[in-house]
């Protein structure tokens, strides 16, 4: 039995319920290529996907490849993304990352986890999102929703994002990693909210530690 304490049959039941209710979700962030996904992912830190998609609707008309953004004036670019949280740091990181991609990677986003996490503004979760969403790799990105929901249900019992990722990749079949990541995000937005989770209406409550201990 996995370290989380969940039985294989419980996980299979939860996967089945998520698949029944959510099916194949499309990416929450809008993008047309790998670079634009990278932009959206960096902007999404402590900012809603809905807000990011509003911002990128105009951005993507002007920034199609890294060299388009690499030459942009920092203060001018800040004004373009100022409705997004932490826009000063995000603007700086996006321009610096664009310069690196333009100069060292021929305007391409590398399909390499270790290279990606070395880029300004890209951490483990962001790299996993890019590789899983655009390059169709089996990845388990863990954001605040995934961290909260996985630990509330009891699929993971971890105090850090990395440990949560380890727990989920241990117990969830690999071919479901990206789906499960998106299901948990969706579930966190609809039912398992940070405040006042809607436990009575939740369709996985019978498998949930949090609900069982209420």
Residues labelled as active-site residues: 125, 143
Per DSSP, the three-state class of 86 is coil
Strands (E), the chain: none
Under DSSP, the state recorded for 27 is P
Q: Number of C-alpha atoms within 13 angstroms, CB side, residue 184?
A: 27
Under DSSP, the state recorded for 32 is S
Task: Give dist(CA 192, CA 93) in Å, integer.
Answer: 32
Do the Cβ atoms of 84 and 51 come closer than 8 Å?
A: yes
For the CA atoms of 176, 8, 165, 147, the dihedral, rounded to the nearest 10 degrees, stands at: 100
């Amino acid at each position: 039995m996995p370290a989380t304490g969940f039985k294989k049959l419980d996980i299979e039941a939860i996967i089945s319920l998520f698949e029944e209710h959510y099916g194949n979700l499309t990416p929450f962030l809008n993008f047309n290529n790998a670079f634009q996904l990278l932009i959206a992912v960096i902007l999404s830190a402590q900012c809603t996907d809905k807000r990011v998609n509003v911002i990128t609707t105009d951005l993507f008309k002007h920034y199609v490849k890294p060299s388009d953004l690499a030459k942009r004036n920092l203060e001018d670019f800040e004004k373009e993304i100022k409705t997004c949280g932490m826009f000063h740091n995000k603007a700086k990181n996006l321009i610096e990352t664009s310069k690196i991609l333009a100069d060292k990677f021929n305007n391409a986003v590398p399909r390499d986890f270790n290279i990606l996490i070395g880029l300004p503004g890209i951490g483990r979760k962001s790299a996993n999102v890019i590789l899983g969403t655009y390059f169709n790799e089996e990845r388990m990105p863990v954001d605040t929703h995934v961290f909260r929901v996985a630990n509330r249900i009891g699929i993971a019992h971890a105090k850090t994002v990395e440990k949560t990722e380890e727990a989920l990749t241990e117990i969830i079949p690999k071919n479901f990693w990206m789906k499960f990541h998106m299901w948990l995000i969706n579930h966190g937005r609809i039912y398992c909210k940070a405040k006042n989770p809607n436990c009575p209406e939740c369709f996985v409550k019978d498998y949930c530690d949090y609900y069982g201990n209420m």
